[in-house]
Amino acid sequence: MKIADLRSKSTDQLKDQLVQLKKEQFNLRFQQATGQLEKTARMKEVRRDIARVKTLLSEQAKAEAEA
């Protein structure tokens, strides 16, 4: 997921994206625990996508507080 794609989304869309990514992360952890995970690199991608979304949400919150 590119940061430019995320910047074009609204705060509500970012929050929805964050919930979706956290669900995916949970499912990946569950698959790993049961030995069914095939793409182990996806865990790293999801973790970084979550960080990107959280960063954008905090940036938007800071910008709103300053305005």
15-34 confidence digits (pLDDT tens): 999 999 999 999 999 999 99
Q: Which two tokens stand for residue 52?
A: 């990107």
pTM of the model: 0.92
53-65 confidence digits (pLDDT tens): 999 999 999 999 9
CA distance 42 to 24: 10
36-47 confidence digits (pLDDT tens): 999 999 999 999
CA distance 41 to 30: 15
Phi-psi label, residue 35: left if phi above 0, alpha if psi -120 to 50, beta otherwise: left
pLDDT attached to residue 67? 79
